[in-house]
Chains A and B, each alone.
Chain A
Amino acid sequence: MERRSAPPSVGVGSPREDLIARVEFVEATLDSIEEGIVACDADGNLVLFNDATRRFHGLPAQPVPQDLLAEHYDLYDETGDRLLTVDEIPLLRALAGEEVAEAGMVIQPRHGERRRLVATGRQVRDEDGRLLGAVVAMHDVTRRLEAEESAARLRAEAARQRDELLAGVSHDMQTPLASILGFTQLLDDDLELLIASGQVDEVTRAMRRQADHLQALVGQFLDYTRLSTTATLELHRAEMDLAGMLAELVDTHACADRLTLAVDGPLVLLGDVVRLRRVVGNLLSNAMRYSDGQIEVHAHSTGPDVTVTVRDHGPGLGDDPDALFGRFARGDTDSDVDGTGLGLYVSRAIANAHGGSLVGSDAAGGGACFVLTLPAGLDTAGRDDRDERESGDYSPSTHTEVAA
């Protein structure tokens, strides 16, 4: 079927030439559309295959018995698993008088592309109502369905991550909560014994630590939620003494004997003290979790910045330390390892919101090393555009800002 692009020149040639020109025009039109068009005569013999249909099947219209049509033209059901039966073939259904509307099917040629189609068709009758045959238009929906399915997969993946996150959050809360409950029972049942043995202070300090830990977990989760919904963290900055904060964190730590703190110079900066305490606390608990030995905390001022380094002597961070800062990342490939994997992700977001950074690397001589860098933010230029309103806070100046 040679395609001609010339329009039919009606009335120019003989009636026969005129007719040929019209037929060629119709065929050229059908061949130029995206939909596959197929038609049969009243006996079910294929009489028309446009270009798209030939492309779908990889075959031209051929005289094939109806019961071999599905096999010959690779016509499968919607799932692509099963050849269509004769009375499922859209063209024959249309010929039998059915209004075929968007019937799903798959064409899977042996040597061609698998396509998912929807077929729409009906009978063709002449002006007097005599049955001439049937016509079906097939629309290729492969890409649309693939896009829909991939969107559905993404939604399912998001739901799975959300479920895992909730499980991780409740799991993380379990340990401090169980400890607090255990201590509470002790205070209820054995207070006199505790007083006699002089352990009340130790117990209340431990309870305080576990409650702080619980609060930090909640704060981290809330920050994660904010980051997910608005991609920003609203900082509550105030002038703060980083050296004092580190000393307090280290002194009150349950495993203070594993921590060595070295601070060079006064380290005053403009920061969100609650969040920065959480960031350093998270670095310390990671170091405790992934290593057995000493942990060195070093803080010093480097010109306009303040730097806190937390170094352990554990197995280190492996080949791709930056991957640990991804959402839900964990420093262990063991799927049994608990936790939300949010700690470093949220911590880095907090560092970034301060205009600083948080990076991890393997330390020379082994172990992991995390470096938190924060701008001191106390320079004059910085002060000028700062909101100087006094709040009820003890801080000399506070202000709130939103950082991406």
Chain B
Amino acid sequence: MSSVLIVDDDHDVRLMLRLRLGAPGRTVLAAPDAATALSLVAQHDPHVIVLDYRMPEVDGLELAARLQHVEHHGRVVLYTAHATRAVADRADALGLRMILKGELDRLCEFVDRSLASRSAA
């Protein structure tokens, strides 16, 4: 069973991504904030982690930085409406893939490919 974790403070975005990224043989988890996300990572070690950038208190980039100090095997992607240079640079520095919110198909592809390469490995 493969698993994907969605971290977004917007309920409706979580719902949409849960439904869009859902597939047979795949578990889609969702967290509204960093604390919930970290606890789900500890419990499930999801294969792909989709992070929103803008979240209250701990944003997606900060959460990505914290994930580097946590035992997990997930590929992390920043799914964001923020195309600013500063965000892109910080994402780069953390080695994060960045996909814009308008590019949902690319996110789906990224998740599919990440999970496929994992099953192939």
Give A residues with C-beta under 8 Å from B. Answer: 171, 174-175, 177-179, 181-183, 185-186, 190, 194, 199, 202-203, 206, 209-210, 254-255, 288-292, 314-315, 335-338
- A336 lies within 8 A of B81 (CB): no
B25 at interface (Cβ–Cβ under 8 A)?
no
B12 interface neighbour in A177, A181, A186, A210, Cβ under 8 Å: A210
- B87 lies within 8 A of A175 (CB): no
A179 interface neighbour in B12, B32, B56, Cβ under 8 Å: B12
Q: A-facing mask of B31-46, CB < 8 A → 1, else 0?
A: 0110000000000000
B13 at interface (Cβ–Cβ under 8 A)?
yes
Chain B residues numbered 24-76 whose CB sits less than 8 Å from any CB in chain A: 32-33, 53-54, 56-57
CA distance A288 to B55 in the complex (A): 9
- A206 lies within 8 A of B15 (CB): yes
B19 at interface (Cβ–Cβ under 8 A)?
yes
Closest 10 CB pairs of A and B: A254-B11, A206-B12, A174-B81, A178-B101, A182-B16, A175-B81, A182-B104, A336-B86, A179-B16, A336-B87
CB distance from A49 to the nearest CB of B (A): 55
Residues from chain B with a CB closer than 8 A to the CB of A336 are 53, 82, 84, 86-87
- B19 lies within 8 A of A335 (CB): no
CB distance from A303 to the nearest CB of B (A): 36
- A203 lies within 8 A of B81 (CB): no
When C-beta atoms are compared, the residue in chain A nearest to B102 turns out to be A178
CB distance from B25 to the nearest CB of A (A): 15
CA distance A171 to B16 in the complex (A): 19
Interface residues on B, range: 20 to 34
- A175 lies within 8 A of B101 (CB): yes
- B13 lies within 8 A of A175 (CB): yes
CB distance from A108 to the nearest CB of B (A): 39
A186 interface neighbour in B20, B33, B84, Cβ under 8 Å: B20
Given contacts A194-B19, A203-B19, contact A177 B102 (CB under 8 A): yes
- A288 lies within 8 A of B15 (CB): no
A290 interface neighbour in B19, B56, B102, Cβ under 8 Å: B56
CB distance from B55 to the nearest CB of A (A): 9
CA distance A135 to B11 in the complex (A): 79
- B81 lies within 8 A of A186 (CB): no
CA distance A25 to B102 in the complex (A): 80
- B16 lies within 8 A of A206 (CB): yes
B92 at interface (Cβ–Cβ under 8 A)?
no
CB distance from A190 to the nearest CB of B (A): 7
CA distance A303 to B53 in the complex (A): 44
CA distance A255 to B12 in the complex (A): 9
B98 at interface (Cβ–Cβ under 8 A)?
no
Given contacts A254-B12, A292-B57, contact A182 B17 (CB under 8 A): yes
Residues from chain A with a CB closer than 8 A to the CB of B20 are 182, 185-186
Most B CB contacts (10 A, CB to CB) among A194, A206, A209, A314 go to A206
Given contacts A171-B82, A254-B10, A289-B56, contact A178 B19 (CB under 8 A): no
Residues from chain B with a CB closer than 8 A to the CB of A203 are 15, 19
A171 interface neighbour in B13, B15, B33, B81, Cβ under 8 Å: B81
- B104 lies within 8 A of A175 (CB): no
When C-beta atoms are compared, the residue in chain B nearest to A256 turns out to be B11
Interchain Cβ contacts under 8 Å between A and B, 28 examples:
A171-B81, A174-B100, A174-B101, A174-B102, A175-B13, A177-B102, A178-B81, A178-B101, A178-B102, A179-B12, A181-B104, A182-B17, A185-B20, A186-B19, A186-B20, A194-B19, A203-B19, A206-B12, A209-B12, A254-B11, A255-B32, A288-B56, A292-B57, A335-B84, A335-B86, A336-B84, A336-B87, A338-B54
CA distance A366 to B1 in the complex (A): 44
- A190 lies within 8 A of B19 (CB): yes
CB distance from B31 to the nearest CB of A (A): 12
CB distance from A241 to the nearest CB of B (A): 27
- B56 lies within 8 A of A314 (CB): yes
CB distance from B108 to the nearest CB of A (A): 9
Residues from chain B with a CB closer than 8 A to the CB of A202 are 15
CB distance from A165 to the nearest CB of B (A): 15
When C-beta atoms are compared, the residue in chain A nearest to B10 turns out to be A175
- A292 lies within 8 A of B15 (CB): no
CA distance A209 to B15 in the complex (A): 12
- A178 lies within 8 A of B104 (CB): yes
Residues from chain B with a CB closer than 8 A to the CB of A182 are 16-17, 20, 104
B56 interface neighbour in A171, A174, A291, Cβ under 8 Å: A291
